[in-house]
Amino acid sequence: MNDKVFHVLFLSRRNSARSVMAEAILNKIGAPHFVAYSAGTEPADTIDAETRELLEQSGFDVSGLQPRHYREFGLDGARDLDFVFTLNDEARGEPTPEWPGVPVTAHWESSDPIQEKGEPWERKQAFSRAMMELDRRLKILVNLPLASLDRLSIQNHVDEIGKSKGEV
C-alpha cells in the first residue's frame, strides 16, 4: 500500500462556496490519503451561509473552513502541493505563483450556486447540484490508481474528470 498523502488545493474567486465544498468533501472521502485546502482569488470574509448549512446537514465538518487568499499557498516555505484545481474561469485566468511541489493542475468548471437568483428551493437545488457534481468528480479522483500512473497519465485523467463534470 502506498502511504503517500496527496495535498490538493481548490481555487475559486470568493472561496465561499464551491471550493469550500470541494475541500470538505475531499477531506472526508479522501482521508487519510488526501488532504484538501481551498482558496480564492478575491476571498470573501466568510463562507456562504447556504454552503455552510448544506455541508453541516450533509455531515461534513465545517469547523476549520474559512476563506483564504491563494497567495498563502505560494509563499516561501508553503507546503508542497500535488494537485491544484480551478473551479471557475476567473480563478483559471488569475496569474498564480509557482506552486510549491510543481503540482498537476486542471480546470474543473463548476456552476456557481451563489449566482442562482430563483426561489429559495431553486437556490437549494443549485447548491445541492454543485455539491453532487464535486462529490462525483472527487470520488473518481480518489479511486484513481495514482501510485501506478505517470504524471502525464494523471494529468490526462484529471483533465477528463474536469470535462465530464464527474459523470461516469
Unique residue bearing C-alpha cell 498564480: 96
Q: What is the pLDDT of residues 63-86, one digit of tens each?
A: 999 999 999 998 888 999 999 999
Within a domain: 130 = yes
- The range of the structural domain enclosing residue 147 comes to 6-159
| Residues contacting residue 3 through CB under 8 Å, at least 6 positions apart | none
Within a domain: 100 = yes
Query: pLDDT value at position 33?
Result: 98
**Average confidence score pLDDT of the chain:** 92
Higher per-residue pLDDT: 136 or 99: 136
Within a domain: 129 = yes
Within a domain: 166 = no
Alpha carbon distance 124, 144 (integer Å) = 31
Residue 77 in contact with residue 87, Cβ under 8 Å?
Answer: no
The pTM of this model reads 0.93
Residue type at 63 in one-letter notation: S
164, HSE (Cβ side, Cα atoms, 13 Å): 16
3-state secondary structure of 7: strand
Residue type at 76 in one-letter notation: D
Within a domain: 168 = no
Domain count of the fold of the chain: 1
Within a domain: 1 = no
Within a domain: 115 = yes
Q: Which grid coordinates belong to 32?
A: 487519510
Alpha carbon distance 95, 46 (integer Å) = 23
Q: What percent of the chain has pLDDT over 90?
A: 83
Within a domain: 165 = no
Indicate the length of the chain as a whole number: 168
For residue 68, the domain's CATH number is: 3.40.50.2300
3-state secondary structure of 136: helix
